[in-house]
Structure 1
Amino acid sequence: MDPSVRSRMISNALRLGVHPFMDRIPGHAGSIRTARSTVDAASWLIRHTQRVQVRPLRDPGVESGEPPVTGEWVVGRDAEAAPGAILYLHGGGYVLCSPRTHRPITARLTLETNLPVLVPRYRLAPEHPFPAPLEDAVAAYRWLLARGVPPSGIVLAGDSAGGHLAAALTGEICRTGLPSPAGLVLFSPWVDLTCELSTKADARDPYISARSARRVARLVVGPDGFDDPRVALLTCAWTDTPPVLIQVGGAEVLRPEAEALADALTAAGADCELQVWNGQMHVFQILNRVLPEASAAMRDTARFITAVTAPARSEAAA
């Protein structure tokens, strides 16, 4: 199916107005902090639907010894108690954004699934390079388990860098023997932080470029660099991986990375569904209130989440 008129208009506007700027952002700490301040200020203009509540969360983690768990809960105002939760890890190249910037996605998720959405405020680079974000994600997952949320009712999700983080968290859960979640949802995941696959892509991405992503990646990786096995998703064993849904835009530069991850998961025996949305840009799901394709993608996501959490819901109802 061809992209909608509205989708083409937005993509063209981004290609002309945003892509040149994103392509030239210097890869140093000063420029990142400036961009972060700008994005944080703009996020206050984003209004989420009044059908959800946003509740701040701060757990200092003193008793558990884990890093503090901070962020927010996004829940439907009319939602009944559900035996599960979505742990959503926001994107932003590991250097930008916050739970607030991604409320268009998290609000839609809770409304479509009737599950509360926990969005942790994980530490960002360059001040806190990898594995600091992963440590915070593990702490958030452990926090849910410690409060009695059944792992069969938890779905991990994330977009872009948050997609990388959600996948890395899944791998860490497998490696450390934590109970496996019910499923994993990845929107336009940044799979290959070396950007080798994206630099070879023949795509006119209206939003991001492989060149700018590579500059940012150098600030993200820790002392072990790109050789850290927790960073290199394509070489993970992916044993005992829960069902996975990957959605990627057909026009984005990260499409080859998403396809490579889907191939790796399938080869390891995982149940992986890859959806390539024709003509769509990076994390188009965030525009689900204006783009028909984004709205349809969120409905598909809700279908997947409802299916993989069905055992937990049935057990709670019994």
Structure 2
Amino acid sequence: MDDGPSVRSRAISNALRLGVRPFLHYLPGHTAGIRTARSTVDAASLLLRHSSHVRVESVDEPPRSDGDRPVKGEWIVPRDLPEGPARGAILYLHGGGYVVCSPRTHRPITSRLALDTGLPVLALRYRLAPEHPFPAPLEDALAAYRWLLARGVPASGIVLAGDSAGGHLSAALAGELCRLGLPGPAGLVLFSPWVDLTCELSIQAQERARDPYISASSARRVARLVVGPAGFDDPRLALLSCAWTDMPPVLIQVGGAEVLRNEAKAFADALKRAGADCELQIWKGQMHVFQILNRVLPEAGDAMRDAARFVRTVTGTGAPEDRTAAA
């Protein structure tokens, strides 16, 4: 992580900085613009193929009881996983600013996690803003966690994982489980988490960061849609001011070039002050959620292997055979 970015990484970052970042910077902060962005991202996701070494099953479970939420998404399973109750699982919450993306868009990450850990991955299709502002995504994530428990997956075998907004949602879910007195997960894996939805830290870092495509000002416009009429008063949004008692081990990976780097560092500091076991990895020169390019970027492949080792350690599961090259 101390080495500079690879030639391939620099080339991709430059292409994104010139082509994608200007579009995202001027993305309108209203429903029509968001819907256009969703359509574009969903169309692009059709070009992504998942590894032939995993099977992807649709999940569409009705509410288990009154007041509960349905669980929708994808169940991604290594093809050679033995039949029977899962000894562990990863609950993956995708990024996209709480307004775009889906389990399909993040299959390069979720299928790789399934392969490298040997565990099934539940990629949740949670409700998106602005139609469904916070805490709607948190309610869906809580229902998904309860669904895993109801399937017989022990809490000690569940890892919460997510990128960007999904990283924020994963951390918020860990806090909610503690508040509700539910058994906590074995650990958290956060890729480039969007920690501060007020965007105060990212605005401060904007001039110094060379983020290839994330704009702090556009993120702030989106954040207003995410919180809705209630604003930022919900304490579950404020990750930096939570108590974070009895937290499981946490792995945070963030790119050294991204505008959210300072947020990741501030969150890691907050967790460590609370006594949590938190490892912060800053990948020099890397962009926001570079792990999604694990098929083409050597740094992304290394980061995914680190994440898999963390998952296997905290869940106490053994290492699967090396299928990365075939993935």
| TM-score with structure 1 setting the length | 0.96
Query: Residue 323 of structure 2 corresponds to which residue in structure 1?
Result: none
Query: Residue 275 of structure 2 corresponds to which residue in structure 1?
Result: 269
Match of 1:134 among 133, 138, 149: 138
Match of 1:59 among 47, 58, 61: 61
Match of 1:113 among 112, 117, 135: 117
Deviations 1:224-262 (A, max 9, x none): 311210101001110111000000000000000000000
Displacement after TM superposition at 1:63 (Å)? 3.4
Q: How does 1:36-75 map to 2 (within 5 A)?
A: 36-63=38-65, 65-75=67-77
Displacement after TM superposition at 1:312 (Å)? 10
Match of 1:215 among 187, 202, 221: 221
Query: Residue 30 of structure 1 corresponds to which residue in structure 2?
Result: 32
Displacement after TM superposition at 1:78 (Å)? 1.4
Number of aligned positions between the proteins:
313
In the alignment, is the contact (CA less than 8 A) between 2:312 and 2:318 conserved in 1?
no
Query: Residue 172 of structure 1 corresponds to which residue in structure 2?
Result: 176
Letter in structure 1 aligned against 2:226? V
Displacement after TM superposition at 1:146 (Å)? 1.2
Deviations 1:85-131 (A, max 9, x none): 00000000000000000000000000000000001100000000000
Q: Distance in 2 between matches of 1:29 and 1:309?
A: 40
In the alignment, is the contact (CA less than 8 A) between 2:189 and 2:252 conserved in 1?
yes
Give identity over the alignment, percent: 76
In the alignment, is the contact (CA less than 8 A) between 1:76 and 1:110 conserved in 2?
yes
Q: Secondary structure at the match of 1:266?
A: helix
Please say if 1:161 is aligned against 2:165.
Answer: yes
Letter in structure 2 aligned against 1:122? Y
Q: Secondary structure at the match of 1:227?
A: coil
Query: Residue 188 of structure 1 corresponds to which residue in structure 2?
Result: 192
Query: Residue 322 of structure 2 corresponds to which residue in structure 1?
Result: none
Displacement after TM superposition at 1:37 (Å)? 1.0
Query: Residue 316 of structure 1 corresponds to which residue in structure 2?
Result: none
Letter in structure 2 aligned against 1:186? L
Q: Distance in 2 between matches of 1:78 and 1:62?
A: 30
Q: Secondary structure at the match of 1:58?
A: strand
Gaps of 5+ in 1: 314-318
Q: Distance in 2 between matches of 1:62 and 1:146?
A: 9
Q: Distance in 2 between matches of 1:283 and 1:122?
A: 19
Match of 2:23 among 9, 18, 21: 21
Q: Which range moved further: 73-82 or 284-293?
A: 73-82
Q: Distance in 1 between matches of 2:67 and 2:27?
A: 38
Q: Which range moved further: 73-82 or 84-93?
A: 73-82
Displacement after TM superposition at 1:80 (Å)? 2.7
Q: Secondary structure at the match of 1:118?
A: strand
In the alignment, is the contact (CA less than 8 A) between 2:103 and 2:123 conserved in 1?
yes
Match of 2:307 among 292, 301, 308: 301
| TM-score with structure 2 setting the length | 0.94
Q: How does 1:223-262 map to 2 (within 5 A)?
A: 223-262=229-268
Q: Secondary structure at the match of 1:226?
A: coil
Please say if 1:125 is aligned against 2:148.
Answer: no
